[in-house]
Amino acid sequence: MIAPEENPSIGTRLRMEGISKSFGGVTALREVDFELGPGQIHGLVGENGAGKSTLMKIIAGVHTIYQGRMLVEGKEVRFGSARDALDAGIGMVHQELSVVPYLTVAENVYLGKQPTRMGMIDWKTMEKGASEQLRNLGIDVNPRTIMGDLPIGLQQLIELARVLFSGARIVILDEPTSALSPPEVRKLFEVLEGVRKSGRSVIFISHFLDDILSVSDVVTVFRNGRRIVTERKANIDKTWVIEQMIGKGHEDIEESYTGAITLSSEPTGTTVLAVRDLAFGRAFSEVSFEARAGEVLGIYGFMGCGQIELSRVLFGKLAPNAGVLTASGANLRLKNTAAARRAGIALVPESRRSMLFYQEPVFKNISISSLGRIAKLWLKPRIEKWIAEEQTKDLNIRPPNVANLLGNLSGGNQQKVALAKWLTYRPRVLILSEPTRGMDVGAKDDVVKIVRKLRDEGMAVIVISAEPETVLALADRILVMKKGRIVHEFANETISKDGLLEVA
């Protein structure tokens, strides 16, 4: 912990003392102390479920029931809502952006407090003000642009601007870089530098340790709901941070994500899914490839290159405009997702929210896709629970009680439940969209192991991701997508992240 006396000139902007919090019966935070100075960028790292998001939601007034004390500028506060927190100068930019895509940039910046003249919105003042605000942060964008037309990175910066503009002296950024391309990340860091210089404080949560280490002044590591250590950036490096997060040395994982990878696909596997000249709207066209049994096919491309739509078409959620899908020689016409499931095709979408039932117990979440096999007419809850317990053991889902409501599990464990659903069904083709997004190193390692095991058992796995590390860590063969087309295939060669980024 950095003692405040090291910086006698500046006091403490935010101080948390002995914070504890539990959900249902699951303890998320135990006796956590935390301190944030003015003009400080404070990096927060930890595995999924380590408690960092929970602490941030307490600070931002989202979670209002907890034990412990919270002091802002030396005054004890207790927020009843996110509104209270904002009034006290604390703003949060969530991982899922909360901008209004149909409104202009200016309207988004001024959301909820548009300047008026004689009861009408004063567009001129608003546009000029927004433009100035954004330029102060080094963001150059026409304030009349419709928000949804901008790239995601810019939208995020504009949301950040809105939070700062609303008077926040403490800004919490939850995984701000996970959806951004490298140039967008650099831009964000420039903006944050400006924010720091203006004396405001930033809490920066991320799984990307490089990002954390390049922008933070101070780094705090969480593990199992406790604050493990807080240290100045100058004194630490990535390996040390990973050790603190996991609690043991993990050089082997680190290696597989950064070094050069030798792809070795085995063309011996039979083709289980073939795609010919597939097209969908403006998202993608002329997409052709084959997925083979016992092989992990990686599809890499920047956000918005059409890979998300491709995954939906393969799973029968969207109907293609053109092209042919064949599975084991027979043409497939996927009317809906149920037809895809019957054809042996499964998808785990990038957002776990869209495939989980938060108010239902874990075992119902796991059994839902395989219900037709477990039970024809009458449900067999005992078998469902037994299957779920096996999956819980295999995937190390915590807590292991399958009757627990899914909503009481941590994010990483929820993601494992999403995977368990299809592992129970055993499809022939498993499509994983962003399988490791928002995951910590340890959980990513688990995913790698699971995917390799499935491949070795003869499943065809398709991994779709905008993170080069994810594709490199998992794939035996890599297709690169760019603006709706497949532009390159890597097979039986040695490539690195740079090589991948070069063609994308």
Partner 1 sequence: MTMPAQPSLRKPAMRRRAFLRSQMRNIAPFVTLIALVAFFWVASPSFATMDNVANILTQISVAGIMAVGLTFVILCAEIDLSFAAIANAAGIVVAYFTTQASYVNVHNIPLPGGVAIVLAILASAVLGLVNAFGLTVIGLPSFIMTLAMMQIAAGICALLVRGQIVYAVPDLVKELGAGSIGGVPWIVIVLAAFLLVGHIVLTYTRFGRYVYMVGGNREAAEYSGVNVNRVLAAVLVISAVCAGVAGMLGVAHFGSAQQNEFDGYLLDAIAAVVVGGTSLFGGRGGIGNTIIGLFVLGVLNNGLDHVQIDSFLKILIRGLILLAALIINVYAQNLRSGSVQEAD
Sequence-distant (≥ 6) Cβ neighbours of residue 292 within 8 angstroms: 265, 266, 267, 269, 270, 271, 272, 460
Sequence-distant (≥ 6) Cβ neighbours of residue 475 within 8 angstroms: 263, 296, 297, 298, 463
Sequence-distant (≥ 6) Cβ neighbours of residue 253 within 8 angstroms: 242, 441, 442, 444, 445
When the beta carbons of 10 and 319 are compared against partner 1, the nearer one is 319
Strand-strand pairing, 322-327 and 330-332: antiparallel
Site string for partner 1, 190-209 (x = CB under 8 A): --------------------
- The reply on whether position 28 binds partner 1 by CB under 8 A is yes
- The reply on whether position 392 binds partner 1 by CB under 8 A is no
Give min distance, CB of 311 to partner 1, in A: 11
- The reply on whether position 337 binds partner 1 by CB under 8 A is yes
Q: Where are the alpha helices (DSSP H) in 267-306?
A: none
The residue from 37, 38, 43, 49 that contacts partner 1 (CB under 8 A) is 49
Identify whether the C-beta of residue 343 lies closer than 8 Å to the C-beta of residue 334: yes
Site string for partner 1, 70-109 (x = CB under 8 A): ----------------------------------------
Which of the stretches 69-77, 283-291, 297-305, 375-383 binds partner 1 when contact is defined by CB under 8 A?
A: 375-383
- The reply on whether position 483 binds partner 1 by CB under 8 A is no
- Counting residues that bind partner 1 (by CB under 8 A) gives 62
Sequence-distant (≥ 6) Cβ neighbours of residue 171 within 8 angstroms: 91, 92, 93, 160, 163, 164, 195, 200, 201, 202, 203
Give min distance, CB of 47 to partner 1, in A: 5
10 Å Cβ neighbour count for 80? 9
Residues 225-244 within binding reach of partner 1 (CB under 8 A): 225
- The reply on whether position 338 binds partner 1 by CB under 8 A is yes
Residues 154-193 within binding reach of partner 1 (CB under 8 A): none
When the beta carbons of 175 and 217 are compared against partner 1, the nearer one is 175
Q: Per this entry, what is the length of the chain?
A: 504
10 Å Cβ neighbour count for 386? 14
Nearest CA-CA partner of 166 in 77, 258, 87, 84: 87
Q: In what order do the strands lie in the sheet with 67-72?
A: 26-36, 14-23, 67-72, 75-76
Q: Which amino acid is at 497?
A: K
Strand-strand pairing, 14-23 and 67-72: antiparallel
Q: What is the DSSP letter of 104?
A: B
Which of the stretches 161-169, 326-334, 344-352, 471-479 binds partner 1 when contact is defined by CB under 8 A?
A: 344-352
* Cα separations in angstroms, 33 against 19, 55, 70, 83, 195: 7, 10, 9, 24, 25
Which of the stretches 84-92, 338-346, 452-460, 490-498 binds partner 1 when contact is defined by CB under 8 A?
A: 338-346
- The reply on whether position 317 binds partner 1 by CB under 8 A is yes
- The reply on whether position 371 binds partner 1 by CB under 8 A is yes
The residue from 405, 491, 501, 503 that contacts partner 1 (CB under 8 A) is 405
Residues 412-431 within binding reach of partner 1 (CB under 8 A): 412-413, 421, 425
The residue from 40, 48, 216, 391 that contacts partner 1 (CB under 8 A) is 48
- The reply on whether position 224 binds partner 1 by CB under 8 A is yes
- The reply on whether position 368 binds partner 1 by CB under 8 A is yes
Would you tell me which residues interact with partner 1 (CB under 8 A)? 22-28, 47-50, 53-54, 57, 63, 224-225, 315, 317, 336-338, 340-342, 346-347, 349, 353-360, 364, 368-369, 371-372, 375-379, 398-399, 401, 405, 407-413, 421, 425, 440, 442-443
